Structure 1
Amino acid sequence: MALLKKPAAYLFDMDGLLLDTERMFLEAFLTLTDDLGIATEEAKAFFGGLVGTSSKVTTARLHDFLPHQTDVMDFDQRWRLLHQDNVGHGVPTKPYARDVLQAIREAEVPMAVVTSTHGPDAQHHLEKAGILPFFETVCTGNEVTANKPDPEPYLEGARRLGVDPTQCVAFEDSDFGTTAAVRAGCLTVQIPDLRPPNTPLPELGQIVAKDLLHGAVQIGLFEDALT
C-alpha cells in the first residue's frame, strides 16, 4: 500500500485511540462485575472482546456473559451511568494525541472523528478532553446504518469532508475499527490499546504502531512537524 505524504484527510477513532476512555469503561465494568462475583481476569478477557463494537453488540453479548439471574438492561444502564460519572471528573487523552492533532492543523489537512459512540456522548467526551475544535465533523455510531467492522462509518466520515476515502489516513486501535477503515480503502494505522489475551492482530495490510507519534512518524506523514 502506497504511503500518502499529504493525504486528503485524517480520520480518527475516538475511544482508546485519542481518548483513554476504554480503561475508564473497563474500570466501571470491573466494579459492577465484582459485585456479581465475576473474577477480574474473566471480566477483563470478556471486555477485551468488546473493544471497537457498537453499544447494541455490547448489550447483546452481556446476555451471554452475565449470570442468568442478572437484569442485563439494568446492569447495562448502571454501567454506562457509572462510566459517565467517572468521565465527569475528566477525560484523559492518549499520549501524543494533541501533538499529532496540532501538526495536522498546521498542515491544514481536514480531520474527522469516526466513532461507534453515540453523538451526545462523543461530543461531550471530546469537548471534555479539550480536542473537539480540531475536527471538522464527528461521525458517531447512531448516525450510520452499520457500525464497525462495516466500512460505512469511514465512508461517511470521508463523505462529510468531501474527500475520497482511498486518499485518507485512518488511525484506529481496535480490530473491528481497523477492519472498517481498511475495507473503506483508507491507509490505516492500528495502535492497539486493550486487547483480549493471546489474540494476534488481524493481517489486513495495516501499519501497526506503539502510539500516535510513532504511527505518524512511521508512515512519514509529519517528519518535518514532529522531528
Structure 2
Amino acid sequence: MALNFPIKGALFDMDGLLLDSERLFMETLVQSTEPIGISKEDTEAFFVTLVGTSNKETSKHLSSFLPNHVEVTIFEAEWRNLYRARVEEGVPVKPHVRPLLIGLQGAGIPMCVVTSTVSRVAQKKLSKAGLDEFFRGVVAGDEVIANKPDPEPYLRGAAVLGLEASECAAFEDSDVGTTAARRAGCLTYQVPDLRPAGVALPNLDQYVVKDLREAGCHLGVLSKALT
C-alpha cells in the first residue's frame, strides 16, 4: 500500500484517543465529587483541564480544586478505585481505531503506545480492549523521567520501534500530548476529545482531524469509500 507520507512507524496515545477512557474517568470523578457538594458542571469543567496530564500533575490540580476539609490523598484513592472497577468492566474503543490499526498493520508499519498511564494499568486496558496485539510495545508514564509535554515519551516510543521520531506519525487527543509529539519531531495528528471551553487548539503544525478515520484517509491507509 502506498502511503501519502513516508513514515516508518506509528505512535499512539491511549486514553481519549484509542480508548474512551477519559470520559469514563470524568464520570467517576463526578460520582466522587457530588457527595461533597461539587456540581457536575464544575467537576466536568475541572476534569478537562486534567486531560493529558500525569498522575502526579493530577494530584496537584486536585489539591487546589477540592474543598479544604477533604483529604486529597484519600479522595484520590477512592476515585481511582472506582475508576479501576469500571475499567474491569471494559473500556469502549473509540470510533475508527480498529480500521486504522489494521490499515497500518497491512502497510507494514510497526506501532507503539505512548501513554501517561502507568504500565500495569495501560497493559490491562489494552488487553481488555483487544488492542494489545497491534502494538510492538508500550511506553508508560512510570517508565520515563519526564512525562508529556516533554518529548521523552515519544522519543522512547520511536526507539522501541528502532526508529527516529521524525520517521513516525503520532496520534494524540490532548494539547499536552500533541506538544510532546511535535517537540519530538513526529508528524502529528490531533483528534480533539474533551477540551476546556473556549480554549483554542495550539498551533504546532499538527494536522487537526475530527476522528481517526480522517487521519487514516489523509495518511493513505484508509479508503474514504470503505470507512
Q: TM-score, normalised by structure 2?
A: 0.96
Aligned to 2:101: 101
Aligned to 2:32: 32
Deviation (angstroms), 1:127: 0.2
Deviation (angstroms), 1:5: 2.4
Identity %: 52
Aligned to 1:53: 53
Deviation (angstroms), 1:222: 3.8
- 8 Å CA contact 1:209, 1:215 repeated in 2: yes
Aligned to 1:11: 11
Letter in 2 for 1:80: R
Deviation (angstroms), 1:42: 1.0
Q: Structure 1 pair 46/126, CA: closer, same or farther in 2 (3 Å)?
A: same
Deviations 1:40-82 (A, max 9, x none): 1111111000000000000011110000010100111111110
Cα RMSD of the aligned pairs, angstroms, is 1.5
Aligned to 2:211: 211
Q: Structure 1 pair 224/163, CA: closer, same or farther in 2 (3 Å)?
A: farther
- 8 Å CA contact 1:6, 1:221 repeated in 2: no
Q: Structure 1 pair 170/4, CA: closer, same or farther in 2 (3 Å)?
A: farther
Aligned to 2:91: 91
Q: How many residues align?
A: 225
- 8 Å CA contact 2:213, 2:222 repeated in 1: no
- 8 Å CA contact 1:17, 1:94 repeated in 2: yes
Post-superposition, which runs of at least 4 consecutive aligned residues in structure 1 deviate over 2 A? 3-6, 218-227
What SS class does the counterpart of residue 210 from structure 2 fall into?
coil
- 8 Å CA contact 1:16, 1:173 repeated in 2: yes
Deviation (angstroms), 1:190: 0.1
Aligned to 2:199: 199
What SS class does the counterpart of residue 215 from structure 1 fall into?
helix
List runs of 5+ in structure 1 lacking aligned partners: none
Q: Distance in 2 between matches of 1:30 and 1:91?
A: 18
Q: Distance in 2 between matches of 1:219 and 1:9?
A: 12
Q: Distance in 1 between matches of 2:128 and 2:225?
A: 26
Q: TM-score, normalised by structure 1?
A: 0.96
